[in-house]
């Protein structure tokens, strides 16, 4: 088996492909088994399962490769800053 250096082994090839295609503003949902991904992903987003992995373990592995995007577009309903 070939192992790429620095890539956590818990990340599947499918998940690595999805992460590689992500850009600014794209969303990634890490959810448990009760999340209705099959119905949500039927017409748009791609479902990548990571059965047997906990969300903290998966998140830690993803963050080693992909930094969080901290850009948040301004809300159209905001009327100045509140303090």
pLDDT of residue 35: 84
pTM above 0.85, yes or no: no
- Give the active site residues: 24
- Name the residue ranges covered by the structural domains of the chain: 13-64
pLDDT of residue 2: 60
38 to 2, 22, 45, 55: CA distances (angstroms) = 32, 20, 10, 18
Residue 81 pLDDT grade (very low, low, confident, very high; cuts 50, 70, 90): very low
Angle at 16 between CA 62 and CA 41, to 5 degrees: 95
pLDDT of residue 53: 92
Half-sphere exposure of 39 (CA within 13 A, CB side): 4
What are the tens digits of pLDDT across the range 22-62?
887 788 889 888 888 878 777 777 888 898 999 999 999 99
């Amino acid at each position: 088996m070939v192992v790429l250096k620095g890539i956590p082994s818990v990340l599947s090839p499918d998940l690595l492909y999805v992460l590689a295609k992500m850009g600014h503003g794209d969303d990634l949902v890490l959810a448990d088994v009760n999340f209705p991904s099959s119905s949500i992903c039927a017409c748009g987003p791609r479902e990548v399962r990571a059965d047997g992995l906990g969300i903290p373990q998966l998140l830690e592995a993803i963050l080693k490769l992909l930094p969080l995007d901290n850009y948040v577009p301004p809300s159209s309903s905001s009327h100045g800053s509140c303090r």
